[in-house]
Amino acid sequence: MAGKGEAARAKPLWTQLYLQVLAAIVVGALVGYLDPSLGVALKPLGDAFIKLVKMIIAPVIFLTVTTGIAHMRNDLGKAGGTAAKAFAYFLVVSGFALVVGLVVANVLQPGASMHIDPASLDPGKVKDYAAKAEKLTVVGFLMDVIPSSVVSPFTEGNILQVLFLAIPFGIALALVGDRAAAALGVLDSLAQAIFRLVAIFMRAAPIGALGAFAFTVGSYGIGSILSLASLVATFYGTSILFVLGVLGTIAALNGFSILKLIRYLKAELLLVLGTSSSEAALPSLLEKMERAGAAKSVVGLVAPLGYSFNLDGTNIYMTLASLFIAQALGIDLSLSQQLLLLGVAMLSSKGAAGVTGAGFITLAATLQVVPSVPVAGMALILGVDRFMSECRALTNFVGNAVATIVVSRWEGQLDRERLRAALDGEAEDAGDAASTAKA
């Protein structure tokens, strides 16, 4: 083990993925700033990488969840208990995120100084988002969970539909017992091959991050955020406060450090920052949570479910942005209206799972319940939404990593020694050395 750790530490810094991604983000920002047209032209690099990762998300989740449940054939009740505890955690923590956004918006009032005339708003800029938001009904959401065919979850990349198929299939394999051993062995082998494929694809992460960040800066410009700097700064500050304060407290109560967890996931967090997509790092999150001592069956359920139901960053954004728009337009919302916003945001954030541009769409759905605040007010933040999407994705990602470890501990399926080694960098060094040897 010591030899492997020394071999990993001896690797040149430029071979470390997280440093490659960080350098790519810096280069992308410079390209977008110095030559905006070139930055915009590099957008396909980011889009191609995200498509590459999304292509394998469905099989990664299906294989992880199915094999995890199938291997629990002697205690299937644990899977149901794990899911119930995960949903309880999601409900409490994501609800708290909504409250944090609401409180911060009322205390700091970032939009109060803008004094925007509602008549000057252009509803055409947000028409498409408003139209999509109207479709976010409870019935529509539940019906959309059921796939149209066995293969459609894989072709469409809908995480909830993949889970809907994987969970009962894993239960079926467990119930069949020994007769399904051959099929389970094939799925286990496929899972190993898919995760090796993930490792191969992740080498392209710096290229994707460069293209995505160059497009963001080139398209919107650094200066575009200055007029709305108060909202952006408030949102980033609130998210940092939530991660270090709320999630940090949850982590401490469960025996680990949030700062060490962030360090452990630094490569994935930089990837999320560069691509503005937490999905891009989901396969790596699943692998790293297992390496950190969380049981495979728990990781396979909690992390994918969290991507749809544990959106802490999105929830902070929705209440904070809703009140910012109201303040900018000079509209005073009563406590009952604000609580109504909070309740609808809790539901709409779940209903937009798997919807492209979910953060902005759920904001539109939330605003529609308060007629005094025009949905067209979203045009005020349209220009900086891209800059806030990175923060949403980062907060969501950290929140799901914390949830996975916490639920594993609740289930008594957390290897504390492996978690300590991972967060202290020992497991990471060994994993890097092993990856290098296999490559």
Angle at 416 between CA 306 and CA 299, to 5 degrees: 25
Give the list of residues 6+ apart from residue 219 with CB closer than 8 angstroms, or none: 32, 36, 39, 40, 43, 386
Give the list of residues 6+ apart from residue 252 with CB closer than 8 angstroms, or none: 258
Helix 205-220 vs helix 385-410: crossing angle, to nearest 10: 140
* Contact present, 269 and 397 (Cβ < 8 Å): yes
Binning pLDDT at 50, 70 and 90, where does residue 177 land?
A: confident
**Structural tokens at position 9:** 């530490």
Nearest residue to 267 via CA among 245, 283, 248, 290: 283
Give the list of residues 6+ apart from residue 307 with CB closer than 8 angstroms, or none: 159, 278, 279, 282, 353, 396, 400
Phi and psi at residue 155, to the nearest 5°: -80, -30
Q: Give domain limits for the chain.
A: 2-438
The 10s digit of each residue's pLDDT in 238-248 is 999 999 999 99
Q: For residue 39, which amino acid is it?
A: G
> Rounded mean pLDDT of the chain?
78
Residue 387, pLDDT score = 73
Q: Does domain 2-438 have CATH number 1.10.3860.10?
A: yes
The 10s digit of each residue's pLDDT in 66-105 is 887 787 766 666 767 888 898 899 989 988 999 999 999 9
The three-state (H, E, C) secondary structure of 112-131, written as one string:
CCCCCCHHHCCHHHHHHHHH
Higher pLDDT, 8 or 160: 160
pLDDT of 138 above 60: no
The β-bridge partners of 294 are: 414
pLDDT of 351 above 60: no
